[in-house]
């Protein structure tokens, strides 16, 4: 009996083993890895390629987005010979392996062909990229993903995805963008209540796509209540846009004012303090701009740091040229401003011709460092370019540094003493001739620094300074001759006024009108906004 039981148990165990044996050999095949999926893009039909794209996105591999973007942009290629290699074209005849990013030798690849996609697959890739970015840890990446969806259009699947992700979204900006994206899609709903709520939700949204969609609803919707709600949303958007356009005009006016400040602040010293009408001031700015270009040519691999090298170099070079002008010509013409005008005008022509002879008459382009390129996006309707923002801050820094030199240093004390009463300053032991040379060199050096800033806004050429010399004199006279605070206020005021007049009068006529207004102002206040006081006011 015991033997029978053992036999039964043995047969049962053997049967169980035989039953599990097929399942052990019938396991599902392993999921293909990322390189294998990338290689599959080079073969098969477009429908199979769509499944492969979904599988690549599902891997969450660090290069998944790079590969999908390359496929979307048409830079994903494959070799014709076996085994095929999938490559990303990064430049003219330069490739990297799509799966790992390793560079490959183009000479050994032979002929390549672009991996094709159609519109349906293109839309699928855009949706997958958006989904991947919507799950990113960085809120800015998630916000850009939602904005891209608003730009490309939101379908039903995307609406469900956005509504699902919004519950766990921590950034209020991303949440607002998600609401706008969903409402933008719901404007095309067949349900009247849904369209009405969507029009209400979009009130005040600044995305251009939103405004365009609301305009269509306000003009063409079959329901009058929905048309009225869309129009109210449009009015709200327009009022916001006006406010941001005002802020944009003010910023661009201040950035123009900072350029005027930089170009005029050196002239405020040579003309305002020393009484010299320096018509070569623009050429001193030109020298500073050319110094920036020369430094970038000398250090082509240090573009990011070229401006930090160019600022002191331009100050020294322009300052030395200024001292040479003062020692060689100006020192014999003090007290005769009209003769200084004629003499410096001749010097300006000499410097222009020297620039043509040394650097050729052609304009030279100065490279913009990476940290100065691009813009700061405040919202979809308002952005600030980094180069103008940095120049505005730089102009203020130069102004306060120069103010500190004139107010807090021994040189500044001697400059003020000589400008107010030259005989008395000499009587107490001040070397007036040395102070004159240093003052003219200081003003010339600041002009060179202005040239560094101008090189980031325009091309460098022999006539660079001629575009700013008249504006510089206008700023100095309007603010009050010899008053640095007046130079700051007048530069910013003229910059803002000019930007507000340009949309109505045009760039050229706006400058003419400003000149006319300035002449009328000088008729009433000949000494400018901030006239000098004390002994200097009597000169």
pLDDT digits (tens, 9 = 90+) for 302-318: 888 888 899 999 999 99
In the three-class reduction of DSSP (H, G, I as helix; E, B as strand; rest coil), residue 275 is classed as coil
In angstroms, the CA 218 to CA 112 distance is 51
Identify the CA nearest to 322 among candidates 222, 228, 437: 437
Any idea of the CA torsion for 244, 245, 249, 251, to the nearest 10 degrees? 20
Burial 179-207 (b: 16+ CB within 10 A, else e): bbbbbbbbbeeeeeeebbbbbebbbebbb
In angstroms, the CA 130 to CA 128 distance is 5
In angstroms, the CA 157 to CA 110 distance is 42
Identify the CA nearest to 291 among candidates 320, 307, 314, 318: 314
Predicted pLDDT of residue 16: 53
Residue 111, phi then psi, degrees to nearest 5 = -80, 145
Residue 524, phi then psi, degrees to nearest 5 = -85, -40
**What pLDDT digit, counting tens, does each position of 210-220 carry?**
888 888 888 88
Which DSSP category does 525 fall into?
A: -
In this model, does residue 26 exceed pLDDT 50? Answer: no
Q: Mean pLDDT across the chain, nearest whole number? A: 80
Identify the CA nearest to 80 among candidates 105, 37, 112: 112
Which position has the higher pLDDT, 257 or 54? 257
Contact in structure between 305 and 420 (CB atoms under 8 Å): no
In angstroms, the CA 362 to CA 412 distance is 40
In angstroms, the CA 447 to CA 259 distance is 11
Identify the CA nearest to 100 among candidates 110, 115, 89, 87: 87
Predicted pLDDT of residue 13: 54
Model confidence at 148, pLDDT cuts 50, 70, 90, reads confident
Tokens of 511: 């400058």
Report percent pLDDT > 70 for the chain.
Answer: 90
In angstroms, the CA 257 to CA 261 distance is 6
Tell me the CA distances in angstroms from 214 to 126, 159, 175, 184, 385, one per residue in order.
24, 18, 20, 9, 29
In this model, does residue 88 exceed pLDDT 60? Answer: yes
In angstroms, the CA 237 to CA 215 distance is 11
| DSSP string over 297-334 | HH-TT-HHHHHHHHHHHHHHHHHHHHHHHHHHTGGG-T
C-alpha distance across the termini of the chain, in Å:
135
- We find that the CATH architecture of domain 246-372+383-538 is Orthogonal Bundle (1.10)
In this model, does residue 538 exceed pLDDT 60? Answer: no
In angstroms, the CA 106 to CA 88 distance is 12
Predicted pLDDT of residue 9: 54
Contacts of 194 (CB under 8 A, 6+ apart): 186
Predicted pLDDT of residue 406: 83
| DSSP string over 355-402 | HHHHH-SS-BPPPPPGGGSSEEEEETTEEEEHHHHHHHHHHHHHHHHH
Residue 318: other Cβ atoms inside 10 A: 31
Predicted pLDDT of residue 25: 40
Model confidence at 18, pLDDT cuts 50, 70, 90, reads very low
Which position has the higher pLDDT, 11 or 154? 154
């Amino acid at each position: 009996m015991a033997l029978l039981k053992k036999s039964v148990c043995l047969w049962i165990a053997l049967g169980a083993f035989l039953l599990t044996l097929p399942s052990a050999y019938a396991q599902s095949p392993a999921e293909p890895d990322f390189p294998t999926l990338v290689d599959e893009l080079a073969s098969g039909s477009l429908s199979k390629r769509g499944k492969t794209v979904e599988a690549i996105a599902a891997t969450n591999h660090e290069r998944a987005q790079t590969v999908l973007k390359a496929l979307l942009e048409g830079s994903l290629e494959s070799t014709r010979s076996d085994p095929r290699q999938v490559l990303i074209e990064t430049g003219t005849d330069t490739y990297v392996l799509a799966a790992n990013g390793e560079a490959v030798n183009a000479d050994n690849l032979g002929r390549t062909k672009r991996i094709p996609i159609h519109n349906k697959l293109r839309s699928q890739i855009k949706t997958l990229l958006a989904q991947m970015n919507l799950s990113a840890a960085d809120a800015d990446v998630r916000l850009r993903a939602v904005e891209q969806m608003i730009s490309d259009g939101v379908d039903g699947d995307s609406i469900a995805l956005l509504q699902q992700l919004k519950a766990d979204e921590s950034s209020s900006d991303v949440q607002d963008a998600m609401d706008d994206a969903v409402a933008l899609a719901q404007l095309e709903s067949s349900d009247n209540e849904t369209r009405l709520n969507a029009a209400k939700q979009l009130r005040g949204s600044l995305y251009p796509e939103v405004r365009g969609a609301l305009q269509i609803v306000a003009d063409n919707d079959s329901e009058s209540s929905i048309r009225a709600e869309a129009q109210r949303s449009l009015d709200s958007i327009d009022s916001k846009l006006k406010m941001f356009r005002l802020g944009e005009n003010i910023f661009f006016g201040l950035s123009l004012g900072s350029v005027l400040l930089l170009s005029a602040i050196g002239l405020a010293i040579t003309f305002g303090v020393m009484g010299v009408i320096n018509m070569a001031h623009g050429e001193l700015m030109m020298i500073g701009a050319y110094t920036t270009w020369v430094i970038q040519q000398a250090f082509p691999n240090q573009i990011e740091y070229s401006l930090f090298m160019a600022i002191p170099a331009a100050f020294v070079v322009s300052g030395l040229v200024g001292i040479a002008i003062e020692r060689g010509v100006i020192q014999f013409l003090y007290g005769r401003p009209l003769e200084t005008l004629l003499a410096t005008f001749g010097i300006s022509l000499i410097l222009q011709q020297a620039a043509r002879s040394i650097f050729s008459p052609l304009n030279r382009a100065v490279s913009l460092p990476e940290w100065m390129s691009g813009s700061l996006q405040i919202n979809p309707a308002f952005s600030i370019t980094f180069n103008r923002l940095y120049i505005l801050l730089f102009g203020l820094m130069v102004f306060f540094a120069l103010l500190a030199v004139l107010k807090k240093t021994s040189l500044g004390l001697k400059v003020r003493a000589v400008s107010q009463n030259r005989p008395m300053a000499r009587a107490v032991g001040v070397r007036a001739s040395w102070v004159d040379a240093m003052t003219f060199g200081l003003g010339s050096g600041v002009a060179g620094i202005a040239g560094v800033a101008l090189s980031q806004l325009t091309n460098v050429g022999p006539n660079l300074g001629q575009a700013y010399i008249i504006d510089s004199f206008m700023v100095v006279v309007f603010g009050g001759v010899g008053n640095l605070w007046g130079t700051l206020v007048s530069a910013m005021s003229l910059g803002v006024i000019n930007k507000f007049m340009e949309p109505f009068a045009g760039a050229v006529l706006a400058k003419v009108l400003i000149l006319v207004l300035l002449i009328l102002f000088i008729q009433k206040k000949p000494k400018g906004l901030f006239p000098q006081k004390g002994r200097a006011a009597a000169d």
